Amino acid sequence: MFLVTLMLGGCGLPVIEPVEYDTAVGDEVLVRFDIGKMSVGKSSISPDEDVICDLNLYAYSNGVLVASEYFEENSWVSLKLLYSHSYNLYALANVGRLYAPADEVDFLNECVIDLKSMSDMGERLPMAWHMEEFVVSSLSERVHIRFDR
């Protein structure tokens, strides 16, 4: 009888609401970047041409470099960014490690990939991506990167 009472008594248990964490402006959030396929206008490209072997990821806020990382052979990458802040994000793939200048204007004007020849890259093609005015708005922020050539 006690077991039946306990089982029936369980029906009246209070519903536990999910915990919501307060995130204040300026709190650090780990933003995950998922690397997708690049944008391709033709279907006659070699399968090796969409391989991503390395990735440079940069975040600028108010024209200043605030975060950058270099990754090799990952399907996703991450940066620590501040909650409720706005960023211009940039990614360069298959170009080796590139150190970005502290000033975003310099990055946009001077970030030139110096390739002696395409044979330096093998069959990998350099790719780029950017997103302007990205605002970190949640604790589990995800950004999908879709590369262009």
Please write the tens of the pLDDT for every residue from 17-76. 433 445 555 688 889 888 865 444 444 555 566 678 888 999 999 999 999 999 886 667
Q: Dump pLDDT digits (tens) for 76-121.
A: 788 999 998 999 999 998 888 889 999 999 999 886 555 544 455 5
CA separation for the pair 32, 137 (Å, rounded): 13
86 or 14, greater pLDDT: 86
Please tell me the pTM assigned to this model.
Answer: 0.71
Pairing status of strand 28-35 against strand 142-145: parallel
| pLDDT of the residue at 137 | 87
- Cα-Cα-Cα-Cα dihedral sign, residues 109, 113, 118, 123: negative
CA separation for the pair 96, 17 (Å, rounded): 47
CA separation for the pair 73, 71 (Å, rounded): 7
The H-or-E segment that residue 41 falls in is none
